[in-house]
Structure 1
């Protein structure tokens, strides 16, 4: 057997698919295994163009153009007859002058492996769904009388709200926009003896100043141009026996503040254009995200009205200061919107970690809006980091830093400690306040600031 026959025998004894083409894509050699893989006779492939074979549906994509373009080794998944999956590797062959003269490709059937992978992904999604379902069930335990949260702030807040619910004292809810003041007002109403009567919400910031009196007190037939025939009951009248909630009360104009003050004092009023005095027995709850004390000092808010509203003030903590409540809220909103939009969605653990690290300037409302958005826009059962809008993604180096095993645990902890001290210094003016927020002593704060050279 001469050297050529020996080479030929070795070449064809290989069970794998080995295909050799010229740079233009014409097949110059093929192993016997090639025909078996693609369900054709190997001899019928000789001299054929791989581009023509692709058009005939024998395989796609092609190794030849990939190697010609990159002039280096390439590996990719190719689809063969009957949707079989082949892991193909293409190699360039150069002559003594470095010119590309041949492209050699070989493949392995990985159809079964791809099916196993798909099955594993499906199993992973199911496991993630079960884990999220368990987390949601756990989040239901992270509620205090229906208010979602596990933080000490939430527990104290609910305890205070329950305590004052039994008496008809005026309550002023304070806190940033989106922090949950409306939900707390409803909670107070539901805990009170007035729970079976109406809860009427008045958005003081959304009603035009000229229409506020008519909306609050109602009007009689013909009271003004465009008035509804027969007149209309006002919101104060509708609140009879229940709770009147004045949201965004800090947005009231000075003239309307006078009218609200008189209503609170007397619980009596006249409809616009009316002469009959109307009495309404209601519980008053108000809310604002404004600093009313400052508004009073600037003569933008009546002092007498402020004292009437501020009998029992309750301040709702922003979400960034009670991060342990974020995950229970996420699971609660995820379940809510999956049911609402008939979607099956679960959160990847990295996403949960990401959400728990954000500051949430828009508080609970912002978090709720984001969860609704990703439930609707995500394309797979598992919500991944890529499904989050860009502003909600942490920098890549955050994860790199977390997974950096080139430094010791002590070094990593010191980095976190330094960052917390710096954040506290930005937020609080004194080391005493910093110590209270961080849960350590004031001398410890001073010592750590010196250690990390924080001025």
Structure 2
């Protein structure tokens, strides 16, 4: 087993990272771990990592955090992209400024430009008479985290490219250039290379964003992290709800056999549900299997609708020439199709 511990000087600057390697045959695990590999100093984000690849990523992050180069974090949903972005900010020279997060998928297409870049008073019907600062202006001298960057419409991608190149932008309704000093960290669970081939993502923007690429592995490839992460989640939930519960050895080993398509987020959801539902102090594998059987036996109308939507999307995906063709067949906008594909974690390989 290996783990890393950051060491900070008196000024709270990262001085070095100590990597330790242990022969696990020497340990008799009792269900309690001291989480030296958690970074939790004055608000530093927690990131539990015993897995070799994850420790290499954290070591890499400790170096690149000190520069202002743009970072592109990729990985499946629930792998910890936002947590890693916050860690980079916390280790950077910008750490005393707010970490600004924008979920590009959550902002309607017709509002994304004004949200990112702001607008002048009276720029359009319904605009505030005071105007509005955009996220880039708010994040000046700090870090701007653009989550779900693959959902940005093409016209906004062009303006984002301008900011990355020139460090300047214009508000909606104004010709005046505003200069900003912002570090960009972008994240996506989409395959941007495939989106470029379909002209859904600008190639020049991709190369501007992909200066420092970090690809987070899914939980199923981090089997040695499942136990410490599970233990940490249990401890946190125990503190939250006043429980004194544990997971059985058999259950933890069983967790290592599961695919965890939702990754850490799914693991956390499952553990919280077990702790709340099961009345006993020790949660067993049988408790988990019983919970899964109950879930499958329940008839959920929303789930039935979701299953039907997903089936239709999968069938149309194989018979459509493009996203626009698919949208036309469904009678919806292309943005809706893209959002639904993301919602159901459907990869586009065409």
Change beyond 3 A, Cα 1:366–1:178: same
Among residues 67, 75, 83, which one is paired with 1:167 in the alignment? 67
Partner of 1:364: 264
Q: Does the Cα contact within 8 Å between 1:250 and 1:288 map onto a contact in 2?
A: yes
Report 1:171-182 matches (<5 A).
171-182=71-82
Equivalent pairs counted in the alignment come to: 261
Residue 105 of structure 2 aligns to a residue in which SS? Answer: coil
Partner of 2:309: none
Structure 2, unaligned runs of 5 or more: 1-27, 41-45, 294-350
Q: Does the Cα contact within 8 Å between 1:172 and 1:285 map onto a contact in 2?
A: yes
**CA–CA distance in structure 2, aligned partners of residues 269 and 159 of structure 1:** 34
**CA–CA distance in structure 2, aligned partners of residues 176 and 254 of structure 1:** 23
2:270 aligned with 1:337: no
Among residues 283, 293, 296, which one is paired with 2:196 in the alignment? 296
**CA–CA distance in structure 2, aligned partners of residues 354 and 255 of structure 1:** 47
**CA–CA distance in structure 1, aligned partners of residues 271 and 125 of structure 2:** 45
Residue 183 of structure 1 aligns to a residue in which SS? Answer: helix
**CA–CA distance in structure 1, aligned partners of residues 85 and 74 of structure 2:** 11
Among residues 2, 21, 33, which one is paired with 1:137 in the alignment? 33
**CA–CA distance in structure 1, aligned partners of residues 284 and 244 of structure 2:** 14
2:101 aligned with 1:201: yes
CA RMSD, Structure 1 to Structure 2 (Å): 2.2
Shift of 1:369: 1.5
**CA–CA distance in structure 1, aligned partners of residues 260 and 124 of structure 2:** 45
Shift of 1:275: 4.6
2:143 aligned with 1:243: yes
Partner of 1:149: 49
**CA–CA distance in structure 1, aligned partners of residues 169 and 32 of structure 2:** 48
Report 1:71-110 matches (<5 A).
none
- TM normalised by structure 1 equals 0.54
Partner of 1:107: none
Shift of 1:233: 1.6
Change beyond 3 A, Cα 1:337–1:229: farther
Among residues 228, 237, 249, which one is paired with 1:328 in the alignment? 228
Q: Does the Cα contact within 8 Å between 2:192 and 2:206 map onto a contact in 1?
A: yes
**CA–CA distance in structure 1, aligned partners of residues 237 and 129 of structure 2:** 41
Larger mean CA deviation between 326-335 and 347-356 belongs to 347-356
Shift of 1:267: 2.0
| Higher-Rg member (1/2) | 1
Shift of 1:323: 0.3
- TM normalised by structure 2 equals 0.69
Among residues 111, 115, 127, which one is paired with 1:215 in the alignment? 115
Report 1:264-275 matches (<5 A).
264-275=164-175
Bigger proportion of residues as helix:
1
Q: Does the Cα contact within 8 Å between 2:81 and 2:187 map onto a contact in 1?
A: yes
Q: Does the Cα contact within 8 Å between 1:144 and 1:155 map onto a contact in 2?
A: no
2:281 aligned with 1:381: yes
2:129 aligned with 1:234: no
Shift of 1:382: 2.1
- Cα deviation 1:86-106 (Å, max 9, x = unaligned): xxxxxxxxxxxxxxxxxxxxx
Greater relative contact order structure (CA < 8 Å, 6+ sep)? 2
- Cα deviation 1:377-420 (Å, max 9, x = unaligned): 22222223343265758xxxxxxxxxxxxxxxxxxxxxxxxxxx
**CA–CA distance in structure 2, aligned partners of residues 164 and 271 of structure 1:** 31
